[in-house]
Amino acid sequence: MSSAVDVARWMLCFCEEHGDPITNLKLQKLLYYAQAWCLALYNKPLFGEKIEAWVYGPVVAEVYRAFKNFGSRPIDCEFKAPDLPDEVVGHLEEIIAAFGGYSTYQLEKMTHQEAPWCNARGNLPLDAPSNAEISHEDMKSFYRTLCDQG
pLDDT at 32: 98
What are the residue ranges spanned by the domains of the chain? Answer: 4-149
Total length of the chain:
150
**Does residue 114 carry a pLDDT above 90?**
yes
SS (HEC) of the chain: CECHHHHHHHHHHHHHHCCCCCCHHHHHHHHHHHHHHHHHHHCCCCECCCCEEECCEEECHHHHHHHHHHCCCCCCCCCCCCCCCHHHHHHHHHHHHHHCCCCHHHHHHHHHCCHHHHHHHCCCCCCCCCCCECCHHHHHHHHHHHHHHC
State residue 147 phi and psi, 5-degree precision: -60, -45
**Does residue 122 carry a pLDDT above 90?**
yes
The model's pLDDT over 51-77, given as tens digits with 9 standing for 90+, comes to 999 999 999 999 999 999 999 999 987
- First vs last Cα of the chain: how many Å apart? 28
The model's pLDDT over 95-104, given as tens digits with 9 standing for 90+, comes to 999 999 999 9
If you average pLDDT over every residue of the chain, what do you get?
94
Find out whether 15 and 100 touch, Cβ atoms under 8 Å: yes
Q: Residue range 136-150: average pLDDT?
A: 87
